[in-house]
Structure 1
Amino acid sequence: MHDRAFSLLELLVAVAILVIVVSVAVPVYTAYSLRAHRVNAQADLFRCAQGLERHATESRSYAMAVDTDGDGVGDASTGPVSANLCTVAAGAYEISLHAATAADFVLRATPRGDGAAAAEGVVELDSTGVRRWDRNGDGDFDDADERRWTD
């Protein structure tokens, strides 16, 4: 018998400890990652709201702020935001402008595809600063806890 080798029992204990650590770490990391994606989308919404404010200062309206043909001139009031408004950093979300009029706007961050971020729901910011988060993914913001971005 060798004194320097691991016994089978010691190896099983080490593997069991590793399994316990991984079973705790993976869900925690996944939740952290999803929250980070949502926070990035919220930062993008603020950045795009600033871009819309600049647009409204120049044109006296939030309407026609989306550049759909890529020529640098706003030609639509709804659609994905473009570089003429803001730079979008959140790759897991698509930032779009909804219901832009002369007096107000609604920016929406929608999770892309069927990835893990899709379970996080849609996040919105409007021109009055109201923040909405469709936590349960039911397609509306009517629930009491959906009028804020915090958990």
Structure 2
Amino acid sequence: MIAVAVVTVLASLALPSYNEYVMRSHRANARAALLQAAQWMERTATAQGRYPLAAAIPASVLLVEGGRYAVVAESANGMTYTLTALPNAPQAMDLCGSYRINEAGTRLQVKTDQVPNPLGALECWNR
């Protein structure tokens, strides 16, 4: 009985740390996917003279490892673009909300329905 109580206490202490570690690793996946997509956009603009329109971006460029984020691209005029990593259900309560980067390299955190006041870009992009 005492062993069960000890295991329960240890599990209750370890589980939140483990969950935070998992969320942090998926945040890193989202940041990496955004940066890779931004590099792809820049290489394409160098080759073609303008950024590709959102409809012309291959789905493979917008994939995020782990599937907890979905990357959405906005590029309507070929002169600018915005890439946003939106958290999916298991990651929706993450305090960083959505990640966003644009053609100028500006990194932002964007609110979501579940996280109306996300942490700042400095905290989330550097963790």
Place the TM-score, normalised by the shorter chain, in its bin: 0.7 to 0.9
Deviation at 1:88, TM superposition (A): 1.9
> Does the CA-based 8 Å contact 2:41-2:52 persist in structure 1?
no
**Aligned-residue CA RMSD in angstroms?**
2.4
Structure 1 unmatched runs, 5+: 1-11, 68-73, 75-79
Secondary structure of residue in 2 paired with 1:119: coil
* Identity rate, percent: 28
1:2-21 superposed matches below 5 A: 12-21=1-10
C-alpha contact (below 8 Å) 1:104/1:126 kept by paired residues: yes
- The TM-score with structure 1 as length reference comes to 0.68
Matches within 5 A, 1:1-151: 12-64=1-53, 66-67=54-55, 74=56, 82-83=59-60, 86=61, 88-90=63-65, 91-112=67-88, 115-120=89-94, 121-134=97-110, 137-138=115-116, 145-148=119-122, 149-150=125-126
TM-score by length of 2: 0.79
What is the count of residue pairs matched by the alignment?
120
Q: What does the per-residue CA deviation read over 1:104-134, in whole Å, with 9 as the maximum and x for residues that have no partner?
A: 211000112xx23011221111111111123
Unaligned runs of 5+ in 2: none
Give the aligned residue type for 1:34: M
In structure 2, give the amino acid aligned to 1:97. Answer: A
